[in-house]
Amino acid sequence: MSTNRPALPAEIARRRTFAIISHPDAGKTTLTEKFLLYGGAIQMAGQVRAKGEARRTRSDFMQMEKDRGISVSASAMSFDFKNFRFNLVDTPGHSDFSEDTYRTLTAVDAAVMVIDGAKGVESQTQKLFEVCRLRDLPILTFCNKMDREARDTFEIIDEIQENLAIDVTPASWPIGMGRDFLGCYDMLNDRLELMDRADRNKVAETISLEGLDDPRMADHIPPALLEQLREEVEMARELLPALDPQSVLEGHMTPIWFGSAINSFGVQELMKGIGQYGPEPQIQKASPREIAPEEKKVAGFVFKVQANMDPKHRDRVAFVRLASGHFERGMKLTHVRTKKPMAISNPVLFLAADRELAEEAWAGDIIGIPNHGQLRIGDTLTEGEMLKVSGIPSFAPELLQTVRAGDPMKAKHLEKALMQFAEEGAAKVFKPMIGSGFIVGVVGALQFEVLGSRIELEYGLPVRFDASQFTSARWVHGPRDAVEKFTQANKQHISYDHDGDVVYLTRLQWDIDRIERDYPDVTLSATKEMM
Ligand code: GDP
């Protein structure tokens, strides 16, 4: 994260674009609802789910999403809180969709890590954290479910420090836990925040105190708990690092807030923390030069494509993160990959839970651009300059299967469907050099099912997946004649991805090692930058 940068225009400086990372069940959905509640986006918590359901029945292809309770499609939501504009980008919850998640995280400036106070750092949290670490994303932590039996506070903090190798500084300190949970002591502002158990949709009073020794403490906290609180806070101040905002921005330290999302407790404090310590829109890596948010001209990049949000129209929505400038509806932007102008006449802002037409947006915002397939993941849009945003990789799939249409006459339809999903980033599709048919590659096994049901639903085409003779795929890079020579000598193993790039398929790691020895000019790569 950069420092010593010029002050951003106020509209940009007030933006906070982030994602929530967590293990399933830790409380991400509940917390999101409460964010929206405080963001004034909805009247009552609980409506996100209700609205989500309605939207699903309207536009969602996936019965599975409902059946299994997993969220297959990511979306973005914007809401205001105090002087800030929050853009919350939803990360797919299931561990099978790691590539999608990774790309989502390229579109945010920070992540909120939600952990369950009884369970601590769980596997999925750890994985997602590591993805954030690759980009040194700042992380703010919310320890949820303190109204249940939770672990000892020091133990939770230790576990985060140990498992994730990050400094943890308490922004608040819980008072009691489970049935005895009263609220938190705000370590940053020396305030007492009490939880109101009666009304889940509002927070209780906040009492301002002159530090821990304020005699009014005793009016609110029973003696034993008060003594424990004083001891623990003193110990925490001695043993744990103090909040260092710069270290937070660099991703080396995470402040932790304790609370109970379902009781709306601690949520506002967390939101204030995101405003205060979370980063402004950051510089975007691109070639041949970086893009700074304060630049007058608009630039943005596609980090997600979602097809068939409305099955009646074969349209797609490309989710674009604005990297710079002030965007206004109707603008003509240059689609850098094809060098063609594109009039952005009907962009969508994801205000609250519903789609709305965007009139304007600023660096940091996420807009949706309906299109017919011109926009692909990794594409850059500018006001004319040939800039290419970098750092949006595609990963080699870990599972490969052949796919066939139930009706052989429909092979062309199948090809069309597969290309669409390849462009969406939902799967890798390889066309073997020899023979017919396609090989589909995914990262998690569940994706085959998702694909199968989508092809059937959206294209009316039942398909069959079968085991492939291959288990690994590598992109082939190198000078043109070296690649050509390699291709000719290994035809049985060669296929082409949807961009026409050469891919080597095999079932043996040994093959990969051998090629690296035998063809020094050729490199086999497990990732490729999306074009
Ligand atoms: P997600 O899978 O991370 O989106 O988790 P949800 O928000 O759906 O929450 C999982 C379960 O935990 C639900 O039954 C919630 O009602 C419950 N839950 C969420 N927050 C709290 C909390 O603060 N306290 C308690 N006791 N339960 C909570």
pLDDT at residue 308 is higher than 70: no
- As to burial, measured by CB atoms within 10 angstroms (0-12 exposed, 13-18 middle, 19+ buried), residue 46 is middle
Query: How is residue 276 written in tokens?
Result: 């205060």
Select the highest-mean-pLDDT range: 322-326, 472-476, 515-519. Answer: 322-326
27 is in an annotated binding site: yes
Can you tell me which atom of ligand 1 is nearest the CA of 144? 23
- 446-459 vs 411-424: helix crossing angle, rounded to 10: 120
In short, whether 30's Cβ falls inside 6 Å of ligand 1 is yes
pLDDT band at 454 (very low <50, low <70, confident <90, very high): confident
Distance 49 CA to ligand 1 centre (A): 13
CA nearest 15: which of 266, 326, 248?
Answer: 326
485 phi and psi, to 5 degrees?
A: -65, -45
Asked whether the predicted pLDDT for residue 479 surpasses 80, the reply is yes
Whole-model pTM: value is 0.82
Cα 69 to ligand 1 centre (Å): 14
Dihedral sign computed on CA atoms, order 482, 486, 491, 494: negative
Of the pLDDT bands very low, low, confident and very high (cuts 50, 70, 90), residue 188 is very high
Cα–Cα dist 45/37, whole Å: 6
Look at residue 274 in the predicted model and tell me its pLDDT.
98
Distance 23 CA to ligand 1 centre (A): 11
CB atoms within 10 A of CB 385: 15
* 499 CB neighbour count, 10 Å cutoff: 13
Q: Parallel, antiparallel, or unpaired for β 340-343 and 332-335?
A: antiparallel
Which pLDDT score is estimated for 55? 39
Residues 362, 367, 373, CA angle at the centre, nearest 5°?
A: 140
In terms of average pLDDT, the best of 61-65, 199-203, 455-459 is 455-459
Q: Is 397 annotated as a binding residue?
A: no
Distance CA 177, CA 476 (A): 56
pLDDT of residue 46: 35
Ligand 1 atom having least distance to the Cα of 32: 7
Stretch among 172-176, 247-251, 395-399 having the lowest mean pLDDT: 395-399
* Minimum-distance ligand 1 atom for the alpha carbon of 263: 23
User: What ipTM, to 2 d.p.?
Assistant: 0.99
Mutate to test the pocket of ligand 1, among 49, 196, 262 (most ligand atoms within 8 A of CB): 262
Say yes or no to pLDDT of 47 above 60. no
> Which structure tokens are listed for 420?
């669409």
Model confidence at 95, pLDDT cuts 50, 70, 90, reads: low
Q: Could you give phi then psi for residue 43, rounded to 5 degrees? A: -75, -40
Q: How much is the mean pLDDT over the chain?
A: 86
For a ligand 1 pocket test, name from 25, 37, 119 the mutation site with the most ligand atoms within 8 angstroms of its C-beta.
Answer: 25
In short, whether 144's Cβ falls inside 6 Å of ligand 1 is yes
Q: Kindly report, residue by residue over 153-181, the tens digit of the pLDDT.
A: 999 999 999 999 999 999 999 999 999 99
Omega of the bond prior to 288 within 30 degrees of 0, cis?
A: yes
- Residue 494 pairs in a beta bridge with 504
Ligand 1 proximity of 22 Cβ (cutoff 6 Å): yes
> In 3-state terms, what secondary structure has residue 369?
strand
In the predicted structure, residue 322 carries a pLDDT above the cut 90:
yes
Question: Quick check: CB of 306 below 6 Å from ligand 1?
Answer: no
Q: Compute the distance between CA of residue 244 and CA of residue 252 in angstroms, rounded to an integer.
A: 10
Residue nearest to atom 22 of ligand 1 (CA): 145
The answer to the question of whether 144 is labelled as a binding residue is yes
Running DSSP on this structure, what letter comes out for residue 409? G
265 CA: nearest ligand 1 atom: 23
Check residue 37 and give its pLDDT: 82
* Range with the poorest average pLDDT among 200-214, 237-251, 404-418, 512-526: 200-214
Both tokens of 48, joined, read 């996100």
Nearest Cα residue to atom 10 of ligand 1: 25
> How many residues are present in the chain?
531
Q: Which of these ranges, 83-87, 205-209, 220-224, has the smallest mean pLDDT?
A: 205-209
pLDDT for residue 7: 87
Indicate the SS3 state at residue 428. Answer: strand
Which pLDDT score is estimated for 108?
96
Q: How far apart are CA 307 and CA 209, in angstroms?
A: 53
Closest ligand 1 atom to 259 CA:
23
22 is in an annotated binding site: yes
28 close to ligand 1 (CB < 6 Angstrom): yes
Mean pLDDT to the nearest integer, 102-119:
94
Query: Looking at residue 434, what is its pLDDT?
Result: 93
**C-beta 148 within 6 A of ligand 1:** yes
Q: What's the 30 CA to ligand 1 centre distance in angstroms?
A: 6
Question: 26 in ligand 1 pocket by Cβ < 6 Å?
Answer: yes
Strand partners, 474: 504
What digits encode the pLDDT tens for the residues 423-435? Answer: 888 789 999 999 8
In this prediction, residue 357 carries a pLDDT of 65
How high is the pLDDT of residue 135? 84
Minimum-distance ligand 1 atom for the alpha carbon of 114: 3
Tell me, what amino acid is at 281?
Answer: P
Identify which has the larger pLDDT, 298 or 447. Answer: 298
